[in-house]
């Protein structure tokens, strides 16, 4: 059944492909963005590897290619008047919320970026919740969370909730969170606020705690170069797999942070499209917050590097691995067993990370090798800043 689908953050890596996927499936789609991500890229001197059209150009190209319309609205989710008016006028059946600052390293650069990340993400999400409550309480909110909310606890990670037996009594709580960055912490606050809104206001919501996404295109973005989505390989907005693929193309050693034992969940961008569509087709009930762990495989960072190395060598390239100091504060050797069965139960058929898929990524990156800027692979974002030597600190004048 056709829906009215509102996509927040529709200019982004996931937002734009999601808009095309829902439009192609016959839904009425509107996207919202304020182009903040493009501004952050300018601040840091980075850009996506593939040329990216403006949002309006993309929408026009989609109309030409598919003969379908994607409506575009420009505004800031931190402006409640804008959000309320938008939801009141569009009355969406489904709201897909990607519209946030998405980078852990960005949130750790300095106090300005840290406070911006928390204010932007938390206030914007609260505005969406209040606007749904007051203008469209039947709307189903699908919110992009992150597996990074959980951290790396020494017990199995359940899908969103944990039942605790204590002193003869039992209660089910939101799974305890131990996030590893101020960005991930903003997502934890979002989870609690959404949980509150469903309990108190009877809203309906699904949170997709997503692993690390990889992939250079979707079925729709592959139709025309003007429909391409962003692909980052820099330290701030890129991911380890993206960085390794780019390094392999330019003959740079694949830089593994520390020993490379950090384990995380991963999924293909095409599987992200499938997961969001499954969540929309099977909405939560009023008063319900469903939480799905959205990933398909678990790898260590070293395993990813070794897979890229093997694929590159299969293409005839010589690739080396190197180990670099880890700028993040995280455990390398840790237990990690996260449950992720609920989306499979809904019908997800995972596309697993194999050599053929990596070959496809490497080939497309090679076609755009002239746009690679090796200087952005390292941007010196550290979770714990270097301190002055003890002798220097002692020599500083005392305050009076």
295, pLDDT greater than 50: yes
- CA–CA separation, 201 and 143 (whole Å): 17
Kindly provide the b/e burial profile for residues 107-145, where b requires at least 16 CB atoms within 10 angstroms of the residue's own CB.
bbbeeebbebbbebbbebbbbbbbbbbebbeebbbbbbb
Assign residue 289 a region (left: φ > 0; alpha: ψ between -120 and 50; beta: otherwise): beta
Closest CA to 207 of 88, 351, 95, 75: 95
Mean pLDDT taken over the chain:
95
Using N-to-C axis directions, what is the helix angle for 301-314 and 240-250, rounded to 10°? Answer: 30
Residue 62 has pLDDT above 50, yes or no: yes
Residue 294 phi/psi, 5-degree rounding, is -105, 85
Confidence of residue 159 (pLDDT cuts 50, 70, 90): very high
Note whether 148 and 187 are within 8 A (CB): yes
Q: Give the pLDDT of residue 341.
A: 97
64 phi/psi in degrees, rounded to 5: -65, -40
**Domains contained in the chain, CATH given:** 4-218+268-295 (3.40.50.720)
The answer to whether the predicted template modeling score (pTM) of the entire model surpasses 0.85 is yes
Stretch 265-283: mean pLDDT, rounded? 98
Phi-psi region of 378 (alpha: psi -120 to 50; beta: other; left: phi over 0): beta
Would you say residue 400 has pLDDT above 50? no
Confidence of residue 385 (pLDDT cuts 50, 70, 90): confident
Outline where the chain has alpha helix (H): 15-24, 36-44, 55-66, 80-90, 104-107, 111-135, 182-201, 240-250, 269-281, 301-314, 342-346, 355-367, 390-395
Spatial separation of the C-alpha atoms in residues 253 and 370, rounded to whole Å: 18
Whether the per-residue pLDDT at 312 is higher than 80: the answer is yes
Given a cut of 80, whether residue 394 has pLDDT beyond it is no
Task: Please return the burial class of 395, using the count of CB atoms within 10 Å of its CB with bins 0-12, 13-18 and 19+.
Answer: exposed
Can you tell me the mean pLDDT for 217-244? 96
Q: Lowest-pLDDT range, 77-81, 149-153, 286-290, 396-400? A: 396-400
Range 259-279 average pLDDT: 97
| Interval 23-55: pLDDT, tens | 999 999 999 999 999 999 999 999 999 999 999
Dihedrals φ, ψ of 234, to 5°? Answer: -70, 165
pLDDT at 332: 87
Overall average pLDDT of the 308-330 stretch: 96
Q: Residues with Cβ < 8 Å from 31, sequence gap 6 or more?
A: 6, 7, 10, 11, 15, 16, 19, 55, 59, 70, 71, 72, 73
Per-residue pLDDT of 246-265, as tens digits, reads 999 999 999 999 999 999 99
**In the chain, % of residues over pLDDT 90:** 95
pLDDT, tens digit, for every residue of 104-123? 999 999 999 999 999 999 99
Q: What is the Cα–Cα distance from 181 to 107, expressed in whole angstroms?
A: 7
Q: What is the pLDDT of residue 15?
A: 98
Buried-state track 337-349, b at ≥16 Cβ within 10 A, e below 16: ebebebbeeeebe
Does the pLDDT of residue 7 top 70, yes or no? yes
What number of other Cβ atoms are within 10 A of residue 72's Cβ?
18
Which band of pLDDT confidence, cut at 50, 70 and 90, is reported for residue 97? very high
- Residues 329 and 383: their CA atoms lie apart, in Å, by 6
Q: Which residues are catalytic?
A: 146, 183, 187
Neighbours of 281 (CB within 10 A): 13
> Quick one: pLDDT band at residue 386, thresholds 50, 70, 90?
confident
Q: What are phi and psi of 86, to 5 degrees?
A: -60, -50
Q: Is residue 392 over pLDDT 90?
A: no
- pLDDT value for 389: 59
Q: Could you give the CA distance from residue 324 to residue 260 in angstroms, rounded to a whole number?
A: 9
Q: Report helix, strand or coil for 354.
A: coil
Question: Which of 294, 242, 245, 293 minimizes the C-alpha distance to 271?
Answer: 294
């Amino acid at each position: 059944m056709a829906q009215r689908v509102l996509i927040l953050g529709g200019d982004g890596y996931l937002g734009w492909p999601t808009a095309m996927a829902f439009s192609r499936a016959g839904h009425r789609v509107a996207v919202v963005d304020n182009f903040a991500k493009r501004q952050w890229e300018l601040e840091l001197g980075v850009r996506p590897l593939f040329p990216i059209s403006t949002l309006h150009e993309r929408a026009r190209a989609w109309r030409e290619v598919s003969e379908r319309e994607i409506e575009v609205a420009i505004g800031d989710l931190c402006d409640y008047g804008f959000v309320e008016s938008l939801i009141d006028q569009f009355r969406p059946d489904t709201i897909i919320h990607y519209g946030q600052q998405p980078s852990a390293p960005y949130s750790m650069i300095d106090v300005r970026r840290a406070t911006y990340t928390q204010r932007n993400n938390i206030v914007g999400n609260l505005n969406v919740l209040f606007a749904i409550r007051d203008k469209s309480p039947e709307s189903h909110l699908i919110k992009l969370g992150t597996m990074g909310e959980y951290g790396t606890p020494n017990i199995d990670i359940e899908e969103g909730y944990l039942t605790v037996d204590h002193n003869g009594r039992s209660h089910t709580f939101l799974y305890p969170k131990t996030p590893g960055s101020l960005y991930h912490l903003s997502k934890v606050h979002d989870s609690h606020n959404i949980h509150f809104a469903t309990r108190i206001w009877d809203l309906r919501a699904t949170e997709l705690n997503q692993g690390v996404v990889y992939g250079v295109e979707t079925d729709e973005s592959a139709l025309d170069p003007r429909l391409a989505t962003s692909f980052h390989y820099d330290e701030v907005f890129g991911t380890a797999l993206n960085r390794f693929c780019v390094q392999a193309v330019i003959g740079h050693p694949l830089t593994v942070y520390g020993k490379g034992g950090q384990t995380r969940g991963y999924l293909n961008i095409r599987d992200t499209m499938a997961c969001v569509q499954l969540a929309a087709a099977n909405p939560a009930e009023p008063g319900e917050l469903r939480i799905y762990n959205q990933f398909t495989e678990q790898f260590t960072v070293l395993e990813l590097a070794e897979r890229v190395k093997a694929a590159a060598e299969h293409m005839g390239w010589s690739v080396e691995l190197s180990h670099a100091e880890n700028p993040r504060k995280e455990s390398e050797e840790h237990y990690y067993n996260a449950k992720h069965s609920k989306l499979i139960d809904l019908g997800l058929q995972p596309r697993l990370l194999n050599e053929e898929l990596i070959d496809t990524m490497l080939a497309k990156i090679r076609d755009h090798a002239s746009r690679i800027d090796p200087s952005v692979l390292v941007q010196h974002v550290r979770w714990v800043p270097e301190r002055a030597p003890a002798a220097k600190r002692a020599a500083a004048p005392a305050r009076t």
